Amino acid sequence: MRVPLLDLSEQYRALAAPIRAEIDAVLASQRFILGPQVEAFEKAICRYLHAPHAVGVSSGTDALLAVLMALEIGPGDAVITTAYSFFATAGCLARVGATPLFVDVDPKTFKLSPTALEWYIDNRCKRDSHGQLRDSAGRRIRAIIPVHLFGLCCEMDAIHAISERCNLEVIEDAAQAIGAEYLTAHMGLRKAGTMGEVGCFSFYPSKNLGAAGDAGLVVCRSEELAKRLRVVRQHGMEPRYYHDFIGGNFRLDEIQAAILNVKLAYLDTWSAARRAAADFYREEFTRRGLTNRIALPAEPYRERGLTNHHIYHQYVIRTDRRDELRDHLAKREIETAVYYPLGLHEQKCFSYLGYKKGDLPETERAAGETLALPIYPEISREAQRYVVETIAEFI
């Protein structure tokens, strides 16, 4: 039995007619960039996320880049983030000339560890005479980028407390977590991307809400920042052909927005189906007595009365025999993936930052032990049973 990691063909078949009708309408209008579909999508996302402002952009990467440009984070600045993420999180920092400062992850959730963050700030950073937090090389620490990896929110209460104490902006990388919820101590129930000053989303086709190409979005609390982001996404141009600051071409296409407008209505149903699939994996692993051999995804917010306590963008297990298990599954036509095989601090392109192996032990251990199993809303129980059975056979 062949089990793909992700298969969205069934989903497309169900929505092909309305999606094609919307694409046709855009083609007929001949308006392709920043038109009524983009505006409608921005409004719909604001309603869905309970966010005050949304700015559609060209990708999740460009969302991060545009935010850093709009906040004027650049040379001489540093930003604290995780090394256990997709490259874009740190890549964008380097592109604007800022320095990524990597803090280790929690071994259960794989997210930025508030304990490690606090330790880093208290032991490796200093405050200057103006109260500005600086790293050991004297760079101004401007922000924290928590990444809500795999569809589960970071521990935002703890991160919020630290950012308040140190006067840092919180830029959420919510690329993998659209709709994921968290119960905050000071704002009640919030969705990923709306707990910090600003949140970044990706609609890369394989994300829970996927476009038919690249697309992304920024949400923010401040109207002023939203205005600036709208200018940044058009080369910093305001008015036409006058540029007070540098931006880029970060615009969202009408066709992508039209497709996303159709799909957004189904997002919660899809996330619920992913969660049901995750529950079924747990039942099967438990039934076969494998939970002491394989670490299943942590669900720290399950008991907090949230619906989308996890949206299972990925279903990631952990085992110290990861590579052997992966080969075993591949031989039986089960597709898996490793997110991510190498921490960002060990990437060649970041060697100039001076990190070495051993600096982030939990990140490094996770990179060697995690394995993403097939998950998508329409995955069959039969396929899942086969996956668990094949893992049991290996063990």
Ligand X SMILES: *Cc1c(COP(=O)(O)O)cnc(C)c1O
Q: Which residues of this protein are in contact with ligand X, per CB under 6 A?
A: 59-61, 85-86, 88-89, 147, 173, 175-176, 202, 204, 214, 216
Nearer to ligand X, 173 or 284 (CB): 173
Nearer to ligand X, 60 or 114 (CB): 60
Nearer to ligand X, 293 or 347 (CB): 347
Q: Which two tokens stand for residue 173?
A: 């990388």
Sign of CA dihedral 285, 286, 288, 292: positive
Please name which of 327, 341, 391, 336 lies closest in space to residue 369, comparing C-alpha atoms.
341
Shortest distance, position 138 Cβ to ligand X, whole Å: 28
Shortest distance, position 284 Cβ to ligand X, whole Å: 27
Shortest distance, position 285 Cβ to ligand X, whole Å: 25
Nearer to ligand X, 202 or 390 (CB): 202
Q: In 3-state terms, what secondary structure has residue 101?
A: strand
- Going from the C-alpha of 7 to that of each of 130, 236, 335, 338, 352, the distances in angstroms are 53, 39, 11, 17, 39
Nearer to ligand X, 311 or 388 (CB): 311
Nearer to ligand X, 192 or 388 (CB): 192
Shortest distance, position 173 Cβ to ligand X, whole Å: 5
Spatial distance between the Cα atoms of 100 and 110, rounded to a whole number of angstroms: 18
Q: In 3-state terms, what secondary structure has residue 144?
A: strand
Burial (CB count within 10 angstroms: exposed 0-12, middle 13-18, buried 19+), residue 6: middle
Shortest distance, position 127 Cβ to ligand X, whole Å: 30
153 close to 179: Cβ distance less than 8 angstroms:
no
In degrees and rounded to multiples of 5, residue 154 shows phi and psi of -70, 170
**CB within 8 A of 3, min separation 6: which ones?**
333, 334, 335, 374, 379, 383, 386, 387
Nearer to ligand X, 212 or 392 (CB): 212
Shortest distance, position 388 Cβ to ligand X, whole Å: 26
Nearer to ligand X, 22 or 214 (CB): 214
Shortest distance, position 313 Cβ to ligand X, whole Å: 8
Please name which of 261, 263, 274 lies closest in space to residue 307, comparing C-alpha atoms.
274
Shortest distance, position 175 Cβ to ligand X, whole Å: 3
Shortest distance, position 256 Cβ to ligand X, whole Å: 11
Nearer to ligand X, 176 or 336 (CB): 176
In degrees and rounded to multiples of 5, residue 294 shows phi and psi of -125, 130
- Going from the C-alpha of 222 to that of each of 59, 101, 218, 226, 366, the distances in angstroms are 21, 26, 12, 6, 36
